[in-house]
Homo-oligomer: A and B are copies of this chain.
């Protein structure tokens, strides 16, 4: 369903909601589209219930229902696509509908920070060993990738984004531009542009996307721009 604003939901996603008999999703995302699905059977549940939602969706599909599972952004980027395919196996057909992911929606609000090669890294260590995330941050630094950070802070844990900053500042200037977008694409979207040195002074939470420039990223009229290299 894209990053949250109604006019960034693709017609294909919208059509799937209209066709579905049952809509299943995380309650925060279901709330955003409530008026679109008022005539449907809707099943919503809380965080960390992903496997449960996937099982329920597959079970209902096996019973012959046309089921839509809602994911924010693009369902294939830290969304529900993988777990659904794993649970479904060959029992029911599954269609994945791509969407505008939070990373590119955030980029559009900041200017053009990901015009060159980038990495997407989630700092959530609920499902991933922290050492693996640390290794990826070092690799991103070594490769001079622009870095898009999803889940910069988890509930109850604050130090991931501090550690990420500490690693990346080993590889690039403290003046490297950094953009922070809270709720990319939703109505209460907030945009901040700062730099690696001052990153931790800004408010960063679970719904923030953080984009850290590469060695060539600069500010252009207040926007973050990572030049692709066209001669001007």
Contact = CB atoms under 8 A, between A and B. Distances in A.
A136 interface: yes
B112 A85 contact: yes
Contacts of A100: 10, 74, 98-100
Interface residues of A, number: 77
A85 B136 CA distance: 30
Given A105-B98, A139-B140, A120 B117 contact: yes
A199 to B, nearest CB: 20
Given A88-B221, A117-B136, A127-B229, 5 more contacts: A2-B10, A98-B185, A118-B119, A128-B228, A139-B140
Interface in A58-105: 74-79, 81-90, 96-101, 104-105
A40 interface: no
A189 to B, nearest CB: 12
Contacts of A108: 74-76, 81, 96-98
B76 A104 contact: yes
A1 B88 CA distance: 32
Contacts of A86: 220, 225, 227, 230, 232
A74 B5 CA distance: 16
Nearest to A48: B230
A33 to B, nearest CB: 14
A83 B12 contact: no
B112 A228 contact: no
